[in-house]
Structure 1
């Protein structure tokens, strides 16, 4: 629900917004005092223990002259509701009534989302929730132009989804979710309802699955033609724009924006014709990832990738990417990748036919400890690197335990089906 004022409103610390049915019974109550740290279940999220997980979120958000109210749970179809805004919430009391749509969408395999109310749903999460758990058929969700301020989560038993926008920059899904709100720092004392499902690293992945603005635990998921922006400010902790944790996750023509940890893939992932912006480990995870024909934009000094794959699977492979920088990013201040090789002994990052600006440091890579004798199983590989104008880059100062691939090796690792274990992510591309 949105409320528009003549001037920017101030959210108070008392009072509540109540939503009541026609019989007077209470459907929801949103308290002003707890609106910035409210909690609700999103997407039917279930922890590793089988208990429902509640996300921390803002149930009342103010932007400009508009206040947006996010109820704790969906309302019913075909019902009339009365809304009361108590005096302490915005300074003056308000009342109005509204009626919900008569029935659920009649074609559940093709759903539309429109911020102006002209689609099947007003939120991306609403459309995802309409897909039945245990789904086994392809479902396409078309998201029309607009800005959608919400945390989005797709649980494991909703596979075969395609979420498609109207173009990066035209369809924007955003939220300031992060580690301080829904990750390890927020849930260090969390109970069994906060434990992550589908953990790859038993300890490291205990709570950090909940901090992405758009999180997917389902297989066979495709995302295209939109912008995902984790609006957590710079320095505001780890904050994924997109996290995918299953097999056959494909991203096409998207713009992913955050600072630290922008894109995290933990299963098998494919990214093409996209733009990824960030500064610290902004492509990272335990998965096998193939990224092609895309721009990786460094917004500050830092690290492009951090691979945590093990000996059973490849890590991150970048083919025909452009490494650019935002204004003000210093010369030689960014490395292609870093790894704690004492812990992730088989980390792999491969850059093939890459065009890069001079913000990339001559050493290329960073390892901890800085001792190549302890990185014998790591694979920091490169082939055909040039500057942005196509001139070969001088790689003579690269980390000693990195290496330049041969042409035959580069050809093999440039094949997504080879890297991704036989999956052809480009079959059936839109």
Structure 2
């Protein structure tokens, strides 16, 4: 090839491909000898899941697997309506993922599996959905564990969602299960809004911090049971806040607000509607040597047939309530405010 002054020689397609490969795989050295980092892998901002093959992936897990590890950009996984049976795990090294159902209601898009503590090796392993990546969001879908209790008291825990992700948001979501439906694990700060949670025993539990805002919580066992089992560490000011939500159940005067899974458990029912399902005379109970009186259990300005005030129902004062708002629960040290 003749070289003409002022014109670079043309490169073949093969040479261009080779050059691109080299530049992509190697760091670049600047004038001062500093090495610039190789860019973090990225992925399309939106992935689509459809069981019938009309999306990019057929399963939710396949779409999660396609997100590069340590991805710094938000990724939305849209899920077409239908039932998706199988386990899903969003690992800790895949933050910033939103999973959004495309149906007309949360009931139109269902992620479901049949799992239990007895079959999976313990309560924490018994979930249908495991979310560990920070900044996780779920919208407009159902996460269900359809394991059915068989009447024994051993290994009946069957978690729908095991959430151990900081700054998580659940919006317009249904969480369905029996015993131990929703695990809010220690790392978690979560905002749950406009959602529905149902179960039987301790079906909202764990050591994380969570705010339920404008949610519906349903105790489906006819004999009732505790709704919450918080395991808030003493080092945490805030555990669980049920705020402006509605509590209902299958039968009257059978359901307890909670019990302490650890002596420092912190739970507040605030400005919520408590139906007649709540045991009015004694709405808190003990658990495994931890007494409810020594836990951080409170109510504030609740209404409804189950909202009676008596000596077994500690209440916040107005002055105390100013420090127990949704924003205070979620702020942490970084000022997070998803509300």
Q: TM-score, normalised by structure 2?
A: 0.79
Contact 1:287-1:309 at 8 Å conserved across structures: yes
Q: Which residue of 2 aligns with 1:210?
A: 125
Q: Does 1:332 align with 2:270?
A: no
Q: Does 1:222 align with 2:222?
A: no
Q: Which residue of 2 aligns with 1:145?
A: 81
Supply the RMSD in Å over aligned alpha carbons.
Answer: 2.0
Q: Which residue of 2 aligns with 1:116?
A: 52
The residue correspondences of 1:82-93 to structure 2 (distance < 5 A) are none
The residue correspondences of 1:14-413 to structure 2 (distance < 5 A) are 108-166=44-102, 167-184=105-122, 208-235=123-150, 237-266=156-185, 267-300=188-221, 301-313=224-236, 314-325=238-249, 329-340=250-261, 344-362=262-280, 363-368=282-287, 375-376=293-294, 378-387=295-304, 393-396=307-310, 398-399=311-312, 402-413=313-324
Unaligned stretches of 5+ in structure 1?
A: 1-105, 185-207
More strand by share: 1
Unaligned stretches of 5+ in structure 2?
A: 1-41
SS in structure 2 opposite 1:226?
strand
Q: Does 1:423 align with 2:336?
A: yes
> In structure 2, what is the Cα distance between the partners aligned to 1:140 and 1:164?
7
- Between Structure 1 and Structure 2, how many residues are aligned? 284
Contact 2:241-2:326 at 8 Å conserved across structures: no
Find the structure with the greater CA-based Rg. Answer: 2
* Residues 146-199 of structure 1: per-residue CA shift (max 9 Å, x gap): 111111011110111000012311111111112122122xxxxxxxxxxxxxxx
> In structure 2, what is the Cα distance between the partners aligned to 1:310 and 1:332?
30
> In structure 2, what is the Cα distance between the partners aligned to 1:379 and 1:118?
50
Contact 1:142-1:163 at 8 Å conserved across structures: yes
Stretches (4+) displaced over 6 A: none
Contact 1:289-1:420 at 8 Å conserved across structures: no
Contact 1:114-1:122 at 8 Å conserved across structures: yes
> In structure 2, what is the Cα distance between the partners aligned to 1:131 and 1:317?
33
* Residues 358-386 of structure 1: per-residue CA shift (max 9 Å, x gap): 110121101247886x854x211001111
Q: CA deviation at 1:395?
A: 1.6
Contact 2:330-2:337 at 8 Å conserved across structures: no
Q: CA deviation at 1:415?
A: 2.9
SS in structure 1 opposite 2:124?
helix
CA 1:138–1:369: 2 relative to 1, 3 Å: closer
